[in-house]
Amino acid sequence: MALLVGVAGVLLGVLWVWLAPRVQYVSNGEAVFLRNTEGEGRIGSDGTFLLLSAGLGALSAVAVFLWRRRGGVPLVIGLGVGSVFAALVGWRVGLWLGPTSDLVVAAGKAGKGVPFDAPMQLLAYGVLLGWPMVAILVHLGLTAVWGPKDLPAAEPWAGAYTTPDGLLPRPPQD
């Protein structure tokens, strides 16, 4: 199951490249500069990754719950490990599918004064924990609300002081 959830990370990478705001650089022939120094695209890329991974984490938790209809330590560990793997796969696929990370080559192709897209980048690595945290919390909530309920424990002392008819036995008469 961890492998199935992990493979879903490819979808995260594709969606991240497609939906994340683009940051652009421009070259003056000697150096590379941000085109818009006050733009929010760099933080928007992290936010897009976090929101996509949170949504996919919730979907994976619902899918795992519907598949097994119960909780359990091995199931939750598999979901957690698969979710961490999926976030890492999504990050690496996004880097691979996005614009090149070699700024010298990209600036040379674009030419002097022509803006070009910056490579995909995560500045806050904590967003990699979005998928596993949401997946485990949603699965916990689903299991708590719709999971199988435990039977009440039998009271071990219930029959120790009563007779089969439910009456207390009389103390011995001396």
More confidently predicted of 147 and 16: 16
Condensed to tens digits (0 to 9), the pLDDT of residues 48-72 reads 999 999 999 999 999 999 998 877 8
DSSP-derived pairing of the beta strands 32-34 and 116-117? unpaired
For the chain, give the mean pLDDT: 85
Rg of the chain taking only CA atoms, in angstroms: 28
Surface-to-core class of residue 29, CB atoms within 10 Å of its CB (0-12 exposed, 13-18 middle, 19+ buried): exposed
Lowest mean pLDDT among 75-79, 95-99, 120-124, 151-155: 151-155
Q: Which two tokens stand for residue 50?
A: 């976090």
Residue whose structure tokens are 């933080």: 43
Condensed to tens digits (0 to 9), the pLDDT of residues 96-131 reads 998 878 877 887 888 888 888 888 999 999 999 999
What are the DSSP calls for 45-78, one per residue?
HHHHHHHHHHHHHHHHHHHHHHHH-S--HHHHHH
Question: Residue 150: what pLDDT?
Answer: 72
Surface-to-core class of residue 74, CB atoms within 10 Å of its CB (0-12 exposed, 13-18 middle, 19+ buried): exposed
CA distance 83 to 133: 8
More confidently predicted of 54 and 160: 54
CA distance 131 to 127: 8
Question: Residue 93: what pLDDT?
Answer: 96
